Chains A and B, each alone.
Chain A
């Protein structure tokens, strides 16, 4: 085990390199820029391809091109750049291209407050491109987890042939912490099977093997509706239905394996805080302070945001009657929580560009204890 002292943005670079990322393209934007700066230097050392592109659209499309050429490829951005990348994310979902997109969330809408924090892109991450598709999105609460989740983002992208979004926040990106890096980390590489159909499986929810450009497979890749060999079938209802269903089901039907969370003090908890990202640090502090007073409070920390943990009912314990969701947005995850539970869901939102402090959470929670 080796110890480092890094910022969240730096840890993402180290995680990416550990996972095997060797192509990065980006366009500078606060508060994500340190990622591209560090990776450009690190790639010089280890041999990777770095491109500063002319905009975020070019960045994500070049990452897609590199992925088909065999690279584990990544880009990083923030709010406005994330918006520009949405068409590319939809294309990657449709063509089952493994890519990793980091969004170091800042206060929006629009240019907003470039150096200030928010978690305002949770819904954009899921619904930002056109049509019905699935992505995987994870959100770290520490520098250590930024490192680990970057590695798992690559693993998930390769395994499910899907864009994976690392939804971190300015506060994590610029936070400096000690991290422990272990030697043995599982790394997943995409499954190849020359000659096999690259866009279809026997099962309704399978993940097909992926060809690599330049290896004689004559891959036919298109973002238009296509059959299992990539031929455009733009007016066949059956092909359209089968493709869209599989793109969704390959993620949804595997959600037990994809979704990761942590729970705290749920056994007897009547009030449960549901929290993610940086806010979960304050939430846990608040929960522990109230526990020390003997309150029956617990917490569920979502490490995966998409697909959303719809087994929430099971996860929050039998006694929970109030769910409390503090967020640096206007209640994006709280709205999702409401879809899956019948108990009271209380939102606590803050969109002033600052992190939510534990005291504020404690004060609000007292009303329900």
Chain B
């Protein structure tokens, strides 16, 4: 973390628990840059997270109120705090397993209620913390600790799900698209209603090693190849789109 972001970090911390090459550390820096650019007051912010490597992004690192609650339950806890004190600017950060699997029901209901929350889902397509099991965002055919023959099930398209549920804003970016991602986080923080950002974040330790992407560099390169913008995607044939991840904003009526 660069020095200018130090003021947003809880004093006394000297390192993060993330593995070398983990995308969660990059995302952590990008969230803080968005906050910095908007000149938000950390004293008015509450960060809520569940359990998982991604849930460690705000807790204990962010120098604000942080609630590190049960696996999957960040959104209901955030709902309670936000509904009781609407002045709090509440941000939820969690993993794909945390927010979309065990917490999936809370996710769609908060989107339906369009509660004023910013939800950032650090999706590494795997359960990093528990040793690399399949998640609901793992792509078909990917190898994990519990899909040694390749994942037979299709993943969620989380942005479509969230918009269908009634949220104001949904977007998908990769940590390899830092400027677009910062802009998206800023937009979500400034928009009323439920705002959801799926952030593709590499997990070399638990996902990469099963999928011939053992090094951080290999994972980043892979993300740069598979993630394409909506604009580019429009020009590609269905054949060419196979295996690609489309990034951009997916708001109501915008596409």
Residues of A near any B CB (own CB < 8 A)? 22-23, 25, 49, 51, 53-55, 57-59, 61-71, 73, 87-88, 91, 211, 213-224, 230-232
A-contacting residues, B47-76, CB 8 Å: 48, 59-60, 63-70, 73, 75-76
Sample (6) of A-B pairs whose CB atoms are under 8 Å apart = A61-B77, A62-B80, A68-B81, A70-B85, A213-B46, A215-B43
User: Which residue in chain A gives the minimum CB-CB distance to B71?
Assistant: A87
Instruction: Report yes or no: B65 in contact with A217, Cβ–Cβ below 8 A.
Output: yes
Instruction: Report yes or no: A69 in contact with B79, Cβ–Cβ below 8 A.
Output: no
Cβ distance A217 to chain B, nearest Cβ, rounded Å:
7
Chain B residues positioned under 8 Å from A67 (CB to CB):
80
Instruction: Report yes or no: A220 in contact with B59, Cβ–Cβ below 8 A.
Output: yes
Chain A residues positioned under 8 Å from B81 (CB to CB):
65-66, 68-69, 213
Chain B residues positioned under 8 Å from A65 (CB to CB):
48, 67, 69, 76-82, 84
CA distance A53 to B80 in the complex (A): 10
Check B217 for interface membership: any CB of A closer than 8 A.
Answer: no
Chain B residues positioned under 8 Å from A88 (CB to CB):
70, 73
Central interface residue in A70, A217, A220, A232, by most chain B CB within 10 Å: A220
CA distance A58 to B106 in the complex (A): 7
Cβ distance B204 to chain A, nearest Cβ, rounded Å:
23
A-contacting residues, B19-55, CB 8 Å: 42-44, 46, 48
Partner pick for A23 among B68, B70, B76, B80, CB 8 A cutoff: B80
Chain B residue total in the interface (Cβ 8 A): 34
Chain B residues positioned under 8 Å from A68 (CB to CB):
65, 67, 81
Partner pick for A223 among B64, B68, B109, CB 8 A cutoff: B68
CA distance A103 to B73 in the complex (A): 21
Instruction: Report yes or no: B84 in contact with A22, Cβ–Cβ below 8 A.
Output: yes
CA distance A143 to B106 in the complex (A): 35
Chain B residues positioned under 8 Å from A231 (CB to CB):
12, 60
Instruction: Report yes or no: B83 in contact with A64, Cβ–Cβ below 8 A.
Output: no
Knowing A55-B105, A223-B70 are in contact, say whether A62-B83 is a contact too (CB < 8 A).
Answer: yes
A-contacting residues, B175-225, CB 8 Å: none
Partner pick for A62 among B70, B76, B85, CB 8 A cutoff: B76
Instruction: Report yes or no: B67 in contact with A218, Cβ–Cβ below 8 A.
Output: no
CA distance A14 to B249 in the complex (A): 47
Knowing A87-B70, A214-B44, A222-B59 are in contact, say whether A64-B77 is a contact too (CB < 8 A).
Answer: yes
Instruction: Report yes or no: B60 in contact with A66, Cβ–Cβ below 8 A.
Output: no
CA distance A231 to B68 in the complex (A): 11
User: Which residue in chain A gives the minimum CB-CB distance to B87?
Assistant: A214
Instruction: Report yes or no: B64 in contact with A69, Cβ–Cβ below 8 A.
Output: no
CA distance A220 to B63 in the complex (A): 9
Chain B residues positioned under 8 Å from A23 (CB to CB):
80, 83-84
